Amino acid sequence: MTFVQLIECRTSRIDEMNRLMDTWVEQTRGKRTATHTVVGKDRSDASHIVELVEFPSYEEAMRNSRLPETDRIFRDMLALCDGAPVFTDLDVVRDEPLCAATARRLFETLAAPGELPAMNDLLAEDCHSHDPVNPQDTIGLDALRREFDMWRGAFDFAFTVDDLIAQGDRACARWTWNAVHTGDFLGIAPTGKQVTMSGTTLFRFGEDGKIAELWWQHDQLGLMAQLGALDALEG
């Protein structure tokens, strides 16, 4: 279970505190078990500093605390604080970037049976989609829905999200697409063939949490080969 340590302190020497953190990062390189750290300053009290340090588990946090470098940095930290820091140990019971959930929901929506919904809860009205196989970007929610409908009309498909990484206003998914060719696709009559395609999608999210921009990379050449569209060229 992921573990987070919450550290609160008071100091008027925030610049020195930051330099101390840089020193700890450098000295524990290759040894520390912390995976993520966030330091915040209270907007209503500039001397109130809160740090969140994330670890893969409580056991890894304890191993990190036993490092001699951590002990030295802690003693230096005490000298910069007005009073003793307060530690709170937290077992993480839920941790999901909201943009990652939105990205997963897009893939689920695209593959769902029935009529494609409005999708205005997922995509911004002026969403831009970049696809190297298209000569121009697809811009706007209505244009995107038409493009999605073209794929849905040609294939019965499902996405498997193999990896999904989210940070800030970006997310990136590596996916596998498995489908049956059931309708006309770029002039190719339905073949009934089972096909697969791998790809990645990079998402940018707006301030409202909706998808504002998409970059697609996928093996459409491999898809065309599976559909037999390259046989005549090879012959």
Q: What architecture is domain 3-91?
A: 2-Layer Sandwich (3.30)
Per-residue confidence (pLDDT) for residue 68, from 0 to 100: 86
**Closest to 48 measured CA to CA, from 3, 25, 20, 17:** 17
**Closest to 151 measured CA to CA, from 121, 175, 125, 183:** 183
CB atoms within 10 A of CB 111: 18
Tokens of 115: 């009529």
Average pLDDT (193-216) is: 96
- Is the model's pLDDT at 63 over the cut of 80? yes
User: Residue 181 and residue 54: Cα distance in Å, rounded?
Assistant: 46
- Topology alike, domains 3-91 and 98-234: no
Quote helix, strand, coil % in the chain, to nearest 5.
30, 35, 30
Average pLDDT (175-191) is: 96
Evaluate whether 138 touches 179 at the Cβ level (below 8 Å).
Answer: no
pLDDT digits (tens, 9 = 90+) for 109-155: 999 999 999 999 999 999 999 998 888 999 999 999 999 999 999 99
pLDDT digits (tens, 9 = 90+) for 32-48: 788 888 889 999 999 99
User: Residue 72 and residue 85: Cα distance in Å, rounded?
Assistant: 15
**Annotated domain spans of the chain:** 3-91, 98-234
Q: Residue 48: in which H helix or E strand, if any?
A: strand 48-55
User: Which numeric CATH code is attached to 98-234?
Assistant: 3.10.450.50
CB atoms within 10 A of CB 229: 16
User: Residue 54 and residue 4: Cα distance in Å, rounded?
Assistant: 4
Per-residue confidence (pLDDT) for residue 232, from 0 to 100: 55
165: CB partners within 8 A, 6+ apart: 171, 172
